[in-house]
A and B are shown apart, each in its own frame.
Chain A
Amino acid sequence: MIQTVLLRNRARRVPLRRRARRPLALRPWSAVALLLASAVGVLAFGWPFLATTPPHASPNAAHAGDAPWIFLAVLPAVLAVVLAEFADGRLDAKAIAILGVLAGCGAALRPFGGEITGASPVFFLLMPAGRALGAGFGFCLGVLTLFASALLTGGVGPWLPFQMIAAGWMGFGAGWLPVPRRWHGRWPEIAMLAGYGAVAGLAYGAVMDLWFWPLQTSGLAAGISYVPGADPLTELRHFMAFYVATSLGFDIPRAAANVLLVAVAGRPVLAALRRAARRAAFDATVTVTPLGGDRSERGTPFRSNGPEPGTPFPSEASRPAGPAPEAGRECGP
């Protein structure tokens, strides 16, 4: 028999209803910067279809062969500029802490991806984060997660800037899924997210293949190789052959893993992220009443960043409603 032992601290349940504003919100300049950076990114991946003059036809075209290296140098700079624009000296500690911790979670997940099959849980975390915390946050999280995981596992290489921007797109897209509010947290949203996960997984694979294709096949003079200066249709045919031959076996498992993970774990993870966003609400007001008994609130409340009720520090969670607990009995017989 278990003796009845009373807990004196009666807790007050506080409903959490307010919607949190997003950290790393898309301001106009950041949106422009992101757009331009994405344009550069599209060029960085899709240049084989654009450089259509044969190498000896014009002086410009001779440089087209250097495109992989040029973009390897340009893309990190472009990403740096976009991130700097997002931060713009206005990021406060909370946004950075959440960004960093989630990037750390993603980075820790990376070694579990059997990269042999291409499936990786890293991408799984980006999608709920984009949904819960906004498209801009999703983009930055994608970029930083891939960067941190590369630093952590030593996977720094010429592929890294391309992976970063592709993962950034993945997180960004998740934030822009048109999900009506009444579906939030319910199965329709999870289904949409799973579908997006499949599409995004395949797209990520295709895009990274596109990066790797000219490098791996240039000079092979085979039907699957990149031919400098051929017309776009030929290039496309060659690329499709390459894609089917080498990577479908990796991309389908990746897409399937995304779908599976979202279906099984998407709901609790999304709920956890939304709860965290509420508790660290990045736009809570602070009001101050001056001394002297004047109870009216001041004209301009402090706009400071503060979390929701129920305080983020769990040890303060329960506040006694009545008189202090009688704690003097603990040594009694």
Chain B
Amino acid sequence: MITFERVTFRYPETDRPVLNGVTLTIPEGELTLVVGGTGSGKSTLLRAVNGLVPHFTGGHLAGRVIVAGRDTRDHPPRELADIVGYVGQDPAAGFVTDTVEDELAYAMEWLGVPPATMRRRVEDTLDLLDLSALRSRRLGDLSGGEQQRVAIGAVLTAGPRILVLDEPTSALDPPAAEEVLAVLTRLVHDLGMTVLVAEHRLERIVQYADRILLLPGDGRVVAESPAAAMAVSPLAPPVVHLARLAGWHPVPLSIRDARRHAEPLRDRLATLTAAAANGTHRSPAALSEPTAHHDGLRRPTPDPVVDVRRLTAGYDGRPALRDVTIRVDPGEIVAVMGRNGAGKTTLLAHIAGLAVPWRGDVRVCGAAPHRLSAGELVRCVGFVPHEPSDLFYADTVAGELADLPDGLSTLQAIAPDIEPRRHPRDLSEGEQLAVALAVVLARRPRVLALDEPTRGLDYAAKARLAALLRTLARSGTAILLATHDVELAAEVATRTVVLAEGEVVADGPTASVVTATPAFAPQVARILHPLPWLTVADVAAALAGRR
């Protein structure tokens, strides 16, 4: 279906090729997953299928890409629109019309499809993607998952045989991501389409993949079956790391497969835990929380740095938070989880002093944050918003940090590889997050709040972020993390608060909260259920006898 023949591509005025001698064939009717770190060429590979590379981006292409019999060198993207559907990273940025129905029909208008056929295809697509109830809605009013489905539908109506998606689930919460993945698997299994997906967060999708393309970052592409790829790939979901640790063969990719292997491991861990309980050198309290994030159990101090009591607030007359009470002590890392729209961002905004509560009391560093002056506020709370680039206004990274006394040194400590003369908008997501953190941390705030920091980050960048957060917590900063990335929460958070429709439905140690809710349980917890283990690191440490 898709054939790459010795494809070497480099962007204009660069001399290092992004793809180097790539030769592969993707057969019809498969779900192919493209795996690679940031900057390894995943997006370039996907765009080469569509013809955007080289026609839209410019550059030097050697070799050829044949898609359903057409050579992309001779066909610009618009002529491939009826065989390849491409959905970019930000679906909302690709919307041209106002309503769902018009958006679905847009591609067909350009293909000259007769009106009766257009009508029928729009109806079929609405049914296929479960969008019938939304047909007259404005695109701007839809949730992230709905927008993603509309974007997929908008390219489906043209009737392509191939669908290419670039990080479709990165911005979605777990239930919305499941919906999108269900759509993709339905397309592959029921309609026989060929689907090509690039993803950072492999844990949800790797079990559905029929084939994996690994991009090590030097321009090569290695095509493997999923099990074989995951056995060797440095980028892998927690289930694979656990399998490698425990020596399971063949490497399981789904929770169900892993649980079949997990019986002996569970028994061993249970034995270890019981032995430790009978042993001498561990406090029983520590045993109830196998996570090794803090040294011993912290008792709630009488002087929390963030004290929210019965907060009720919202926008436009509609409450987004109802009667929320939270305390955070210095050195704690609290993960605030919940679906999109549950009020996580609102809560952080109130703690950061960006909004005025309707009722209730918010105290940060002993004062109400929205009454603090700007100078006092930044020394108390540092907030990295959902889009880190909102903070940038200068032309260079150095310019961003210029009026902060410790700015450059902070950035050097966080990410020394970023050249200060680069334009902040040219940076990758992980680098932008690093610069935003430098901007915020240069003032040494006592509280750090992060809103969805892991969007678009690969596993390596997430690990670096986790390490940074742990260091900050050890030095006494209180950290609040609004995220729906359960793996990160399991990794770093000491406490987890779950919000639903503006109310706190759970608040307690991470281990007990995330294992209680299946939707928010990390993979390791689900595999080792009912034992409360959260991360591969904990399991490794337990097996090695270190606590």
Contacts of B467 on A, CB cut-off 8 Å? 3, 5
Minimal Cβ-Cβ distance residue in A for B214: A324
Contacts of B58 in A (CB 8 A): 281, 284-286, 304-308
Cβ contact within 8 Å between A286 and B18 = no
Instruction: Enumerate chain B residues within 8 angstroms of A295, measured Cβ to Cβ.
Output: 62
Stretch at the interface among A53-61, A75-83, A234-242, A315-323: A315-323
Q: Of the candidates B39, B218, B419, B468, which one forms a contact with A2 in the assembled complex, judged by CB atoms under 8 Å apart?
A: B468
B529 in contact (CB, < 8 A): no
For A321, list chain B residues within 8 Å (CB): 16
Q: For A317, give its contact among B39, B61, B89, B241 (CB under 8 Å).
A: B39
Bound CA span A329–B422, Å:
28
Contact (A289, B60) CB under 8 Å given A14-B13, A306-B54, A319-B16:
yes
Complex Cα gap A13–B420 (Å): 11
Q: Are B395 and A288 in contact (CB under 8 A)?
A: no
- A4: contacting residue among B41, B89, B416, B537, CB under 8 A: B416
Residues of B within 8 Å of A312, CB to CB, are 57
B416 touches which one: A7, A275, A288, A320 (CB < 8 A)?
A7
Q: State in angstroms the CA–CA spacing of A318 and B416 once bound together.
A: 14
Residues of B within 8 A of A287 (CB): 60-61
- Chain B: number of interface residues, binned into ranges: 35 or more
Q: Which residues of B contact A306 (CB under 8 A)?
A: 12, 54-59
**Cα distance, A302 to B51, chains bound together (Å):** 13
Closest Cβ neighbor of A313 among chain B residues:
B43
Quick check: B541 and A333 within 8 Å, CB to CB? yes
Measured CA separation A10–B431 after assembly (Å): 11
- Chain A residues near B475 (CB, 8 Å)? 1-2
Q: Given the complex of chains A and B, what is the CA–CA distance between A319 and B36 in angstroms?
A: 12
A311 at the interface (CB under 8 A from B): yes
Give Cα A320–Cα B40 distance, bound, in whole angstroms: 7
CA A256 to CA B305, docked complex, whole Å? 48
Q: How far is B48's CA from A286's CA once the two chains are assembled, in angstroms?
A: 13
The 0/1 profile, CB within 8 Å of A marked 1, for residues 461-492 of chain B is 01110111001100100000000000000000
B475's nearest neighbour on chain A, judged by CB, is A1
Q: How long is the Cα–Cα vector from A286 to B236 in the complex, in angstroms?
A: 36
Interchain CB contact under 8 A, B427 and A314: yes
Q: A3-B467, A305-B56, A320-B40 are in contact. Are A8 and B417 (CB under 8 A)?
A: yes
CB distance from B63 to the nearest CB of A (A): 6
Stretch at the interface among B143-151, B175-183, B452-460: B452-460
Contacting A5 at CB < 8 Å: which of B38, B89, B414? Answer: B414
Question: What are 12 A-B interface contacts by the 8 Å CB criterion?
Answer: A14-B13, A287-B61, A289-B63, A291-B5, A306-B12, A310-B426, A315-B456, A318-B427, A323-B216, A323-B218, A324-B216, A324-B218
> Could you tell me which B residues sit within 8 Å of A by CB distance?
5-6, 8, 11-14, 16, 18, 37-41, 43-44, 54-64, 73, 76, 89, 216-218, 234-236, 238, 241, 292, 393, 395, 410, 413-419, 421-423, 425-432, 434, 441, 456, 458-460, 462-464, 466-468, 471-472, 475, 535-537, 540-541, 546
